[in-house]
Amino acid sequence: MILGASLLAGTLRAETINFDDAKVAEAPVGWIATKTGNGTAKWAVARDDSAPSGTNVLKQSGEATYPLCLKTDTKLKDGFVEVKFKPVSGREDQAGGVVWRAKDADNYFIARANALEDNITIYHTIKGRRVAFKNTDTKVVPGVWHTLRVDFVGDKFTVTFDGKKVIEATDGTITDAGMVGVWTKADSVTVFDDFSYSDSRHENAPRSVALLSLCGSLTAASLTLEKTIALPTVEGRIDHFAHDVAGGRLFIAALGNDTVEVVDLQEGKVIHSISGLSEPQGIFFLGELNRLYVANGGDGALHVFDGSTFAPVATVKFAGDADNVRYDGSTKRSTSATAAEHLARSTSQRMKLSLTSRSRDIPNRSSWKRPARECSSMCRALSTSPSLTGRQSGHRHVVARIRCRQFSDDAR
């Protein structure tokens, strides 16, 4: 049974290197074995029976300020880089790290884990000078394989160590795309394996959806990849999902593509694309009424579609950036960052609507009452008789309570 879905943007572009085809005692082909600063780095492929995959690893056994090995054919701006590493020895340091957006041996970002210091630190290196901008204490066991990963988008970075998120940081020092690679420090003898990377955040990367089955508790071992479904016509960022359980369909808000993609989960393919939207974000499917609700950030509107024909049913204009859509089935109440699910409800039911505008603050009473008036206009257009009251709930949050006595058939 499919219980969840997650976007794997650029899945086909991901690369993993385990060095098993590389020649032992030499630097791997396609890599620059170098250093930042002084000393002599020694990078070479070596045999290690403890390697996570195969028997070959990339080993650094020299001594330099910062030994560095860069993958020459990479040029990533947004994406991820990940490696498995084992600190072997070192009197001064026992460190291993990953590098991204490297222009050369003197300019790059680096996140490293140190087994002598038991910490993880993220740095930028500019003209050979390394500056830390975030650090956390974390146990790093020597002689044991660990996994270090960095996801980077714009000026935002997330560092994950052994499957646990340990650092979230922001730094705008280096913005251009660059090489990825691995790194050590001083006299660290460190081995690396299963080096992987992807420009998965590149706006033109092919998109796909990975469907996961949940088998018991939420652990890495309990998630099994069921299938990968390509979205060949989609470019740019993808936002929220909605699942039609009975119909076996997945609705995907392709924000950067201005479309909603409809996927048949049984067939494993896209069966329809709803176009003409403006930065679709929040998305919700109400099966009992066969209605699809799409909140658009670009035009600040909620669009309602027939769940079978995908023909537009209604549009509700709001004042700001329409985002999340939520529905409480137990109370027949919607709580939404812009959701107007009162369109989907039948007679004499009280709904709760909320509008979040991320584009601007709402400084005064006249401003935050505007969505209530807009909802009132919408209800009159649907031959309803609503009674409205509004209240402010934070500078960026608007709530309107609406009692709708009757709705026209086409919006139900």
Cα–Cα nearest to 67, from 49, 92, 84, 50: 92
pLDDT at 101 over 60: yes
| Interatomic CA distance for residues 354 and 333, integer angstroms | 11
Mean pLDDT, rounded, of the chain: 77
pLDDT at 29 over 90: yes
Q: What is the pLDDT of residues 372-412, one digit of tens each?
A: 333 333 333 333 333 323 333 333 332 333 233 333 333 33
Q: What is the pLDDT of residues 267-314, one digit of tens each?
A: 888 999 999 998 898 899 998 889 999 998 888 888 999 999 999 999
Q: What is the pLDDT of residues 304-349, one digit of tens each?
A: 999 999 999 998 887 666 777 877 665 554 444 433 434 433 322 3
Task: Report the pLDDT value the prediction gives residue 176, as an integer from 0 to 100.
Answer: 95
| Interatomic CA distance for residues 172 and 387, integer angstroms | 49
Q: Which burial class, exposed, middle or buried, applies to 220 when counting CB atoms under 10 A from its CB (0-12, 13-18, 19+)?
A: exposed
What global pTM score does this model have?
0.52
Span 187-191, mean pLDDT?
Answer: 98
Q: Which of 9-13, 111-115, 172-176 has the lowest mean pLDDT?
A: 9-13
Task: Report the pLDDT value the prediction gives residue 64, as an integer from 0 to 100.
Answer: 98
Task: Report the pLDDT value the prediction gives residue 211, as an integer from 0 to 100.
Answer: 59
pLDDT at 201 over 60: no
| Interatomic CA distance for residues 328 and 349, integer angstroms | 13
Task: Report the pLDDT value the prediction gives residue 182, as an integer from 0 to 100.
Answer: 98
Task: Report the pLDDT value the prediction gives residue 272, as an integer from 0 to 100.
Answer: 94
Spell out the domain ranges in the chain. 4-198, 277-411
Q: Kindly report the CATH class assigned to 4-198.
A: mainly beta
Cα–Cα nearest to 98, from 84, 119, 88: 84
